[in-house]
Amino acid sequence: MKNSLIALYKDVLGSIRDLAPIVIVIAVFEVAVIRQPVSGLLGILYGAVLVVLGLAFFIFGLRLALFPVGESLAHSLAKKGSVFWLFVFAFILGFGTTIAEPALLAIAAEAAEVAVGAGAIEATEEAQDNYALGLRLVVALSVGCSLMLGVLRILTNWSLPVMIISGYILVVLVTGIAPPEIVGIAYDSGGVTTSTVTVPLVTALGVGLASSLSGRNPMTDGFGLIAFASLTPILFVLIYGVITQWI
């Protein structure tokens, strides 16, 4: 218990240190550039304290639970030789953490409105909801597939740079035939999938798997899954745009 409190205290200090530059920059611009009195100073300070505490508890929780869970599950499945269940776990992890991502919900809703304006879908609420849901499912499916691909790379020791470069070449090629209104959405979807929950879990999965395999270095083989999780949504959404355009 004492060690946990000490670790939490260090996380709070780390959060204050990380947020201090942002606060200083905002304060300098407020005083020296805008030169206006700060309204609601008490509320701002209260909010800053909540942000510091929230960030500290989040980091503490990641180290206390999410990282050990991801590493232990990957390690156990690899030791038991359960390759099938390892792929199932990777897919469910990617799909489940992405489908309910708030940023993805916002992007999907905006994309549906853009599709209406471009004449790609009917201007009805049902059509917009279906388009947004389809986009969310495509992105979540892509992240699930990307983690399966990342696990396969670790198991087979394929070259990460070759796979990533080949993937982006394919993205460029598909971009040329995708409808213009979906291109920006597709590229943005690669960023919204790497959420604050997905990243630590995926990293723990890769490191845990690489640590449990003989001949694998966790530093060189355990990372790279996030790159797949950012790349594949772009490709999948571009293809989704092409298919919906043809339909």
121 or 58, which is more confident? 58
Contact 195, 132 (CB under 8 A): no
- Residue of 121 and 168 predicted with greater confidence: 168
Average pLDDT score over residue span 151-166: 90
pLDDT band at residue 174, thresholds of 50, 70 and 90?
A: very high
- What values do phi and psi take at 59, rounded to 5? -65, -40
Q: How confident is the model at residue 54 (pLDDT cuts 50, 70, 90)?
A: confident
* pLDDT score at 133: 87
pLDDT at 1: 64
Would the pLDDT of 145 be above 70? yes
CA–CA separation, 41 and 37 (whole Å): 9
CA-to-CA dists, residue 34 to 27, 94, 169, angstroms = 10, 44, 45
- Do the beta carbons of residue 112 and residue 132 sit within 8 Å? yes
Domain ranges of the chain: 1-65, 82-246
CA distance 15 to 9: 10
Q: Enter the DSSP assignment of 120.
A: S
Average pLDDT over residues 119-136: 78
Q: Are 122 and 208 in contact (CB under 8 A)?
A: no
